[in-house]
Amino acid sequence: MQALFDAADARPSRIRGQGRKGALCALRDAAALKSVYAFGTRRTETSRLDLVDLRANPKMPAFGRFGAVMVRYGKSNKGAPPKRRTVMTVPEMDWVTDTLDQWVVEIRPRFEPGAHPALWITERCGRLSPRSLNEAFCAARDEAGLDPELDLHCLRYSYISHLVEFGYPLRFVQEQVGHSHGATTAIYTAVSNEFRNTLLEASMKKRLGACWDVTS
């Protein structure tokens, strides 16, 4: 994740240094990719977000106006209207509040969007498309030297796995990402070896107490 975001953050300066157009869009892309990961949203959900979907969470005033995101165009069942859900900002992802604040206050106005409601805007004052979001991911992925098989949806996989590693109950994670069934959430989950070893150590200490030594 860090390599991906470092590559995305480096693109605007490199584009400017080459005398090419697109530095402003690269700033947008970096912010959008971080938002996708920080809220675990799908590409279409992200594309359809509006400024009004950024919400405060009265229980978490430290996050200001970025305490939650209202997803109004979630993936629906066949023949059903889009599902709605509120994705709360979790403390482990609180860095996204600075990212969104910079985007909304400093960068987005430079696109001169007028009254356009979209959160993620294009240079022609349109709504950023799901395809453009995926292209932004691929550009950062390639520059970071990551596996070319990775796509934007991998950020959602990472979000789910990391929430589990942070200790959030599976039901909470399921509600955050808008899955109808917990089994679907479980499919997305792939915790790290470090996390699993930490759980094993905690279990051994609980069973054997102070006499258990990790080096034994």
CA distances from 212 to 198, 199, 202 (A): 14, 14, 10
120, exposed or middle or buried, with CB in 10 Å at 0-12, 13-18, 19+? buried
The mean per-residue pLDDT over the stretch 18-46 comes to 96
> 106: pLDDT confidence band, cut at 50, 70 and 90?
very high
Say which amino acid occupies 160: I
How many angstroms from the chain centroid is the CA of residue 181?
Answer: 21
Residue whose token pair is 């792939």:
190
Which residues are catalytically annotated?
42, 75, 153, 156, 179, 188
Q: How confident is the model over 146-197, as pLDDT tens digits? A: 999 999 999 998 999 899 888 898 889 999 998 776 666 666 665 555 655 6
Domains detected in the chain? 2-211 (1.10.443.10)
Task: Give the chain's mean pLDDT.
Answer: 88
Does residue 110 have a pLDDT over 60? yes
Structure tokens at 202: 């905690």
Structure tokens at 141: 């992925």
> 26: pLDDT confidence band, cut at 50, 70 and 90?
very high
Does residue 72 have a pLDDT over 60? yes
CA distances from 129 to 48, 79, 216 (A): 8, 23, 55
Neighbours of 206 (CB within 10 A): 9
